Amino acid sequence: MITTAIKVIVLTIILCISCFPQTTTSIVSDSSAAATASTGIVLRAAGAVAMTAFLIHYDQDIYDEIHSWREHNAVVRKVSPVITNLGDGAFSAGLFGGFVGYGLIFKDKKAIEAGKIGVESFLLTGISVQLMKNLCGRERPSDATRPGGFWHGPFAYFDKHKRGEHGLAAFDSFPSGHTSTAFSAATTLSDFYTEPWVSYTCYSLASFVGVSRVMERTHWLSDCFVGAIIGHYGTRLVEKLNYNSGGITLLPQADEHQYGLLLSVKF
């Protein structure tokens, strides 16, 4: 059994450090940087899989400790719902829409680019998260029928026996969309504005969003960890498509009926 102290340390280290940039150099401003070595990619992927498995095994224990802490701390109960809203899609869309608006008004090209990448990353990571949610069908802590939540797989919502009185949201715990959105925004801002305080502030706030999702009984810690990875590396992929691939551009497309991404390749 892992002690409470170790659980809290693991919680903090995983969410605050695991997705930090490897260097302080912006990937946007250093487009000539060499691609990550294949061995490094394999090691990171293996580490992420191992950590995810570790967290899934201890999800219930960690959730119990974090939720207990919330119940016994009035300040945490008041702050957690506020922090969790930083991962809401409306907040992220408004944030980067504001960057674009500011850039257009004050002729700030960096702000316009940051807004553009932020919106594209938000859409890409959001779509990826929704696909995984529907494929995994994991129960949220608030609706769990077994420790750690049961994994129903795809189409759980359409099985009346499994669904019972629950709505679709009861089966889309893994991964965390709020955490993914928060880390996507944090990565975008950190890569465009490379001052150290920006990176530490953004990633810390994103990490607090992940913690708040556990506190609010909406996610397990492993959901948040995987969401953080998707948000961080999904944004890096968008940056590479925009700046490191010459004729490849990823553009957001939306109307009143649908939204998505348009991949443009110039020959």
Residue 149 and residue 57 in contact, taking contact as beta carbons nearer than 8 Å:
no
pLDDT for residue 21? 53
Output the six-digit token pair for 233: 């590396």
Answer CATH for 37-265 from 1.10.3470, 1.20.144, 1.10.10, 2.40.10: 1.20.144
pLDDT for residue 56? 95
pLDDT for residue 235? 96
* Residues of the chain under the 50 pLDDT cut: 1, 5, 22-24, 31-36, 247, 267
Q: Where are the domains of the chain?
A: 37-265
pLDDT for residue 251? 56
pLDDT for residue 12? 55
